[in-house]
Amino acid sequence: MTESIIHDKWFWFTILSVIVIIVLPLIIVLFLIQLPDELKLVSMIALIVIWGVVSGYKDWVIARRKET
């Protein structure tokens, strides 16, 4: 098997995943900055609430995994 790493699908999957992880939050922040003040406030509160829900779910999954 003399397949080079450039032809490996997991290499490109990893590269694209890293790019998405870096670029997507930047796009979201730039979008939030462009909103009017009222929508900016609502979107930031929604973002914080969603972040808290996801964090709580992650902690719940980890606790469930430790039980079994």
* Residue 5 reports pLDDT greater than 80: no
What is the DSSP track for 20-59?
HHHHHHHHHHHHHHHS-HHHHHHHHHHHHHHHHHHHHHHH
Kindly report the pTM of this predicted structure.
Answer: 0.61
pLDDT on residue 62: 95
What pLDDT, in 10s, does the model give residues 18-66? Answer: 999 999 999 988 999 999 999 999 999 999 999 999 999 999 999 999 9
Q: Which one is predicted more confidently, 9 or 48?
A: 48
Residue 41 shares a structural domain with residue 68: yes
* Domain identity same for 45 and 29: no
11 in Cβ contact with 5 (< 8 Å): yes
Owning domain of residue 10? 1-34
Q: Return the structure tokens found at 65.
A: 């995994």
Same domain? 16 vs 42: no
Mark whether 41 and 51 lie in a shared domain.
yes
Structural domains of the chain, count: 2
Are 2 and 30 members of one domain?
yes
